Amino acid sequence: MLVKKQQTISEFDMVNTYIENLRKQESDKILVFKEVRNNQKRIDIVQIKKYNNRLGTAHAIEFKVFNWKKGFGQTLGNRVLIPYNSLAIWEDYENKVDREILINEGIGLIIVSKDKNIVELKPKKSIYLLNSIYQKIRERIKKKYI
C-alpha cells in the first residue's frame, strides 16, 4: 500500500497563497502590507480595508504552517501594536489549534488552503492597544499607500 506523503508548504509561500486568495475573494477592497516593522518586531501581514477615500482599521495576521503556539504568542505581542489580530494556519494543521485559547484572548483564526482563506474566528478589538504606537505604524503604512 502506498502512503501519500503530505507536502509541506513554506511560510513564505503560504503568505503569498493567502494574498492571492484574498485578491480573488475581496478583489481590491483590502490593502496588504508584508513584514510591517515596529523596532525589531515584524508582523507578517497588516491588512486594511479601503472605503472610498479613507482607510479602515488595521488587522495584523501572523502566519504559521503548523506551529500554531508560536504564532499565537506572536499575535499576543501584536495586540499592543494593532487593533485586530489573527493567526493564519495551513489547512493540513488546523485540527491542532486550540480554538478556546484564541477565543479567550480575542485572537482570530484564518485557515489557508491552496484555493481559499476561511475566517473561522473573527478577532476582537484589542484592549491592550497602545494608540500612539498604532498611529505611528498607521502613518508609515499610509506613506506606502499614497
Residues 6+ apart with CB under 8 A from 99: 109, 120, 121
C-alpha cell at 119: 475566517
pLDDT at res. 6: 55
pLDDT at res. 7: 59
Residues 6+ apart with CB under 8 A from 74: 62
Q: Report yes or no: 76 and 107 within 8 Å, Cβ to Cβ.
A: yes
Per-residue pLDDT of the chain (146 residues; tens, 9 = 90+): 554 445 579 999 999 999 999 999 877 789 999 999 888 889 999 999 988 878 899 999 999 999 999 999 999 999 999 999 999 999 999 999 999 999 999 999 999 999 999 999 999 999 999 999 999 999 988 887 75
Please list, residue by residue across 111-132, b when 16 or more beta carbons sit within 10 angstroms of its beta carbon and e when fewer do.
Answer: bbbeeebeeebebeebeebeee
pLDDT at res. 125: 98
pLDDT at res. 52: 82
Rounded to whole angstroms, the Cα distance separating 84 from 78 reads 9
Q: Which amino acid is at 31?
A: L
pTM to 2 decimal places: 0.91
Q: What are the extents of the domains in the chain? A: 11-145
Number of residues written out for the chain: 146
